[in-house]
Amino acid sequence: MTSSQFQLLLQERVEGRPTTESFLSDNESERTAAAERCARWLAKFHAMAPRMGPSFHLSSHLLSMEQWSRRLASLGEPFADKAGNLFKRLEATASELQPMEMCTTHGDYTHHQVILAPGRTVTVDWDNYVLADASHDVARFMVGLQRLALRWLGSIRALDGTAEVFLKTYVATDPSDITTPLAFQKAAICLEHAKHDVHKKACGWRERAEATLDEGLRVLELGV
């Protein structure tokens, strides 16, 4: 019998420091160490996790992105122009992407989901796990750091150095090439976050949504 047949939920109490606190620390060494631990855990998970879960389909994802862009466009300017341009560029970039090897991904891997416990790194919230290429998780983590910086540090660029450490550590640990689709994934996640801003309408949502759309456009323009 499985836990799902019994309708059981297994939980563990984890003593440790949420990575959000580490990334907002004034201590650069702490931010760097947290980024390295998060990257090493992710690379090991991608390499070792059994291939399981629903498959990610790019065509369905593009349909979702088109809906997000239309939702943003309904608000008028500056969202209409920026969201429309971002979707058109994403659509064009998607047509050039080559098939990538699929692995089990967390699906929502961000600073919110990681606890740095003594001697181990613990990741939570597995509701969105999916078979996809590894760049999906890497991109979401990096965009998550930008959003954290935008909200709490006053600039979307404030944690760029930390994000770069995360990426370099992941690439050094995992031999597969995730750099080609990374810009596409980051820009798509920017569009998704802007849509969430519009839906939730939390304090400062207009500024965050516009800044996030700008970042998506910048990523596709520069390819980083």
Instruction: Dump pLDDT digits (tens) for 155-204.
Output: 999 999 999 999 999 999 876 778 889 999 999 999 999 999 999 999 99
Q: What is the pLDDT of residue 197?
A: 97
- What does the buried/exposed string (b/e) look like for 177-203 if buried means 16 or more CB atoms within 10 Å of the residue's CB? ebeebbbbbbbbbbbbbbbbbbeeeee
Q: What is the pLDDT of residue 193?
A: 98
CATH superfamily of domain region 14-54+107-176: Transferase(Phosphotransferase) domain 1 (1.10.510.10)
Q: What is the pLDDT of residue 224?
A: 78
Mean pLDDT over residues 37-47, rounded?
A: 97
**C-alpha neighbours within 13 Å on the C-beta side of residue 108:** 10
What is the chain's mean pLDDT, rounded?
94
Mean pLDDT over residues 27-50, rounded?
A: 97
Q: What is the pLDDT of residue 179?
A: 80
Q: Which residues lie closer than 8 Å to 120 by C-beta, 6 or more apart?
A: none
Q: What is the pLDDT of residue 5?
A: 65
- Residue 222: Cβ-neighbour burial (10 angstroms; 0-12, 13-18, 19+): exposed
Whether pTM exceeds 0.85 = yes
Mean pLDDT over residues 138-147, rounded?
A: 98
Render pLDDT for 98-131 as a digit per residue (tens, 0 to 9).
888 899 999 999 999 999 999 999 999 999 999 9
Mean pLDDT over residues 49-66, rounded?
A: 95
pLDDT tops 50 at residue 1: no
Q: What is the pLDDT of residue 100?
A: 87
Bridge partners (DSSP) listed for residue 130: 105
- Domains of the chain, by residue range, sit at 14-54+107-176, 57-101+179-224
Contact yes or no for 166/39 (Cβ under 8 A): yes
Least confident piece of the model among 11-20, 148-157, 190-199: 11-20
pLDDT tops 60 at residue 208: yes
